[in-house]
Amino acid sequence: MGVVNVTPDSFSDGGRFFSVQAAVDQGLRLLSEGADMLDIGGESTRPGAAPLSAQAEMDRVLPVIEALRQSTPCPISIDTQKAEVARAAVQMGATIWNDVSALRGSKEAAQIAAELGVPVVLMHMQGEPGTMQHAPHYEDVVAEVCAFLSERAGAAMDAGVARGAISLDPGIGFGKSLAHNLTLLAHLDQIMALGFPVLLGVSRKRFVQALDPSASDPTDRLGGSLAAALMGVKMGVDVIRVHDVRETVQAVRVWQAIQAARG
């Protein structure tokens, strides 16, 4: 899954793809580099990010989705916490709802997901983007993330979302310390054991800088992002959400070829 942030302030690439044309070009480039799907977001969820109105978010993402839809049949995911944005995006041609709030953005979110009938990604986050990194705390991070994801999958199914339409995501970097992130990455098998496809977002995230203090610029975190992505592939995750598609596809291809040569 290639990331297209139509935002002025994303932690990883804020402002680079803020115009419709730049975002569309970036999406098409990521597809040509080997992405199987695109994730379009209009609101940054970086730690400390300010919330955005639904209208402003739609003004950013809808023209991009519309233009991409005219250029490619690939799956397009809308990265939003707002049901009204998801609805408008699906009407415009998006085919997946990626919700970092796991359908907790409003009372009706789960029901609207069911009505839209598109696959949904339910991600774990402790707290809110504005404050989530202040003091993340867990007694047992893996057990708590698993319990949360299973509860949210249950809530989605209760509202009518088909079981086969649900994917889960541990939410690396969302209300988690370095130790929490590493523990989750080391135990992805327990999230997979919940019985749903798993999506993993490690690309350019701050935990890489925590291990390599020289990587304060997110674009300097490619090595760490690839290492974590390959760990995810090894554990069997289904989708990896990345900014650097070409490099990730190459890394996965080499890793898989070596695996195949083991016979």
Name the helix (H) or strand (E) containing 142: helix 141-158
Tokens of 229: 């992505």
Measure the CA–CA gap between 89 and 96, rounded to whole angstroms: 9
Q: Among residues 123 and 156, whose Cβ is nearest to ligand HH2?
A: 123
Copy the structure tokens of residue 159.
């509202």
Q: How far is the CB of 155 from ligand HH2 (least distance, A)?
A: 17
Instruction: State the nearest-atom distance from the C-beta of 263 to ligand HH2, in Å.
Output: 34
User: 167 is written with which tokens?
Assistant: 């994917």
Would you say 5 or 133 has its CB closer to ligand HH2?
5
| Annotated catalytic residue 221 | no
140 vs 228: CA distance, rounded Å? 21
Catalytic residue among 46, 152, 204, 205: 205
Q: State the minimum distance, in angstroms, from the CB of residue 198 to ligand HH2.
A: 10
> Which of 87, 187, 206, 241 contacts ligand HH2 by CB under 6 A?
241
With CB under 6 A as the contact rule, the residue among 26, 45, 80, 133 that binds ligand HH2 is: 45
* Smaller CB separation from ligand HH2, 171 or 175: 171
**Total number of residues binding ligand HH2 (CB under 6 A)?**
21
DSSP state of 12: T
> How many residues are there in the chain?
263
Determine how many CB atoms are found less than 10 A away from the CB of residue 249.
18
Which residue's entry shows tokens 């975002």? 23
CA 140 to chain centre: 23
Residue 190 corresponds to which tokens in the numbers above? 């327990």
According to the binding rule CB under 6 A, does residue 181 interact with ligand HH2?
no
From 26, 40, 44, 252, residue interacting with ligand HH2 (rule: CB under 6 A): 44
Helix intervals (H) in 51-82: 54-71
Q: Any contact of residue 11 with ligand HH2 (CB under 6 A)?
A: yes
Which of 181, 169, 205, 190 lies closest to 235, judged by CA? 190
Would you call 205 a catalytic residue per the annotation? yes
Site for ligand HH2 contains 100 (CB under 6 A): yes
Does 121 engage in binding with ligand HH2 (CB under 6 A)? yes
Q: Which residues pair with 262 in a beta bridge?
A: none
Residues in contact with ligand HH2 by the rule CB under 6 A: 3, 5, 7, 10-12, 41, 44-46, 79, 98, 100, 121, 123, 169, 171-172, 199, 201, 241
Q: Residues with catalytic annotation? A: 205, 241
